[in-house]
Structure 1
Amino acid sequence: MHINTSTSKLKDTLKTLDDVRVNILQPTVQDLINNGTFDINNFTLTNASFVTSNNWEITCDSGHILDQSICKPCPIGYFLNETSDKCDQCPAGQYKDIESESTCSICPSGFTTLGSGSKSRLDCVSKYLSVCIYICVV
Structure 2
Amino acid sequence: MESICFNIILLYSLANCISTGYSWNHGRQFVFAFPESYDSLSDLSFDVAARETSIIHVEAPEVGLNSNYTVQKGTRTFSLNNRIELRGSGIWKKGIHVISDRDIRIYATSQNKLASSDGFLVLPYTSLSTNYFVASYTP
TM tier relative to shorter chain: under 0.3
Structure number with higher relative contact order (C-alpha < 8 Å, ≥ 6 residues apart): 2
Q: Which has the higher strand share?
A: 2
Question: Could you tell me the TM-score, scaled by structure 1's length?
Answer: 0.21
Q: TM-score, normalised by structure 2?
A: 0.21
Larger Rg: 1
